[in-house]
Structure 1
């Protein structure tokens, strides 16, 4: 009886100047990146940015128009999906409705001719791993959305692929379940030391599960890095606005000395890392939690008036009218509401205020 193959561990994924064209439309434009073995990397961006096409090229479901794709150092650019050691969890889960949970999970090894007993043993092991022991004889229609998602993960894991791919895996779940299942996926990925490429348009999801995030915009990479780097040091206005909320304001850099910029934000002034910018026009991205409100005027601050204040349980969402436009402010743990029309002084926290290029 054939035994399941022994894997050597997770593999890297590398794109070298990869493009994908459909006629006159360029879906992915000269993209290069590396996913290190055992990392979970998220492809994040709005609809139509190229992230799903990129994932499908890793899977072999689309063949790149240009460039090279390597998995575990091996050039797989022209290989079909069947000849690549990857598995994909689809947005719809794509479970077979007429098959039991066990039959769904055992489908891969069965098709590969490993024999019913071996296929069953492999499927039972992975179903137990995703917390579905005891559900083997149920059918997909008898499961919740979260349970169906786990069956899809077990089926993808059963052949122990070098790379596991997720295409918007949580979009069919409600908000509370999404949080729980994303934690389970992350825990499983770390426990099994899997290389994972994960596509989502949900920035909170990306921040929660990723070792690294690749932000895509208009078929190109806008920025890549660790979640904290992207949130705290966005490269441009698009990334600042897409990863969390940000107030994007036009500012003037008055001077730069030893890497520090003296910046005028309306009537206020701050000192920020220059990030290779020189004196002249620029923009600043200010996180809502980095704006501090006081009813006592402070030097170097902006004056404004409360426009709106909404209570959201663990925080307040506040809109403040100022001479440089309306600012969005978040106050965590605050209980006291601010009345519209209340005069306030707006100052800036030490973090969450970042210079970005003017373009």
Structure 2
């Protein structure tokens, strides 16, 4: 998508910011993106996260220039690109399908962009070899894409996007075609590459674990709008609403009552438990709490203040044990780490919460 080739050994381009100002995209009577505003700072990886149909991929395609905004303004590196075509934006995109040319070698795939933009074959191949080295594929340049694993094909796609040294690199569900173990390895590779090269990256996924693992910041989208934007920790520990609480990691949504507020803290009553939590703007009265599965503690010996429950289901998953616990406040999904034997089904337990993390009042719920 770049307009001028960068010769191997030339000075690298500076990472650029991406800014959306009240951007809307309509398809006839359907609004796919509704007055969205955000900024991606230079050299940061920001993930657009949300369920299918929320507007995240349309937003990414508007950064690339593959879709044009119906309203609003898009800036890259401070330059207004709202009405520019994809060819006139200094942006490269890694697609979900990789989109490699099957009849070309790895080297030819990566060198294709610079060649089209006027670089000599020698320069284009030198640029391609440099980027193949960066993504760990040196020595495989003569192979066909069909001779590579899924993870290696993904790296070729990344090298082909990097070879043009774009101001902004875009990823559209880049790991969806890989198995679970390979997804983890490739996402680590992408993050390491992004940080070492100081790349500005917009990354689209529907996988919240993937988003938490790679992002400097996450923009959660729902129904064509931004539901919340923040660091992975902020979104996980301080969800803005019930949608974000439930979408970013598993959460038990429970009812409670604020009985008093002192400073930044609220005293919250939930069945037999009394908790002290940041009030997050909530007033005394009924509230909703987001409680993470690993913030729920199960005690096999009776405790007077604990919520009474019993084990309905237990699943051993190697690194963790998952439980369905029936209590007076509803069925709870609980995760225990570092335990080799599950609590037996039917056993009575006392439920308490680890309030230092994983328990939050949900504002406005």
Which TM-score tier does this pair reach, normalised by the shorter chain? Answer: over 0.9
Residue 356 (structure 1) aligns with: 362
| Alignment partners' CA distance in 2, 1:275 and 1:3 | 50
Residue 140 (structure 1) aligns with: 145
| Alignment partners' CA distance in 2, 1:230 and 1:93 | 30
How far off is 1:256 after superposition? 1.5
For the pair 1:130 / 2:149, whether they are aligned, the reply is: no
How far off is 1:3 after superposition? 6.1
In the alignment, which of 103, 110, 121 is matched to residue 105 of structure 1? Answer: 110
| Alignment partners' CA distance in 2, 1:299 and 1:166 | 52
For the pair 1:334 / 2:331, whether they are aligned, the reply is: no
Residue 208 (structure 1) aligns with: 213
How far off is 1:264 after superposition? 1.5
How far off is 1:142 after superposition? 1.1
Aligned to 2:141, the other structure's residue is in SS state: coil
| Alignment partners' CA distance in 2, 1:134 and 1:328 | 48
Structure-1-length-normalised TM-score: 0.97
Query: 1:1-359, aligned counterparts within 5 Å?
Result: 4=7, 6-349=11-354, 350-359=356-365
Structure 1, residues 69-109: CA drift from partner, whole Å, max 9, x if none? 00000000000000000000000000111111111001111
| Alignment check: 8 A CA contact 1:212 1:226 kept | yes
How far off is 1:265 after superposition? 1.3
How far off is 1:114 after superposition? 1.3
How far off is 1:280 after superposition? 1.4
234-243 or 65-74: bigger deviation: 234-243
Structure 2 unaligned spans of 5+: none
| Alignment check: 8 A CA contact 1:10 1:193 kept | yes
Change (3 A) 1:64 1:158: same
| Alignment partners' CA distance in 2, 1:181 and 1:322 | 41
How far off is 1:300 after superposition? 3.3
| Alignment check: 8 A CA contact 1:261 1:274 kept | yes
| Alignment partners' CA distance in 2, 1:238 and 1:310 | 26
Structure 1, residues 28-61: CA drift from partner, whole Å, max 9, x if none? 1111110000001111111001000000000000
| Alignment check: 8 A CA contact 1:270 1:300 kept | no
Structure 1 unaligned spans of 5+: none
How far off is 1:299 after superposition? 4.1
Structure-2-length-normalised TM-score: 0.96
Q: Which runs of 4+ in 1 moved over 2 A?
A: 2-8, 295-301
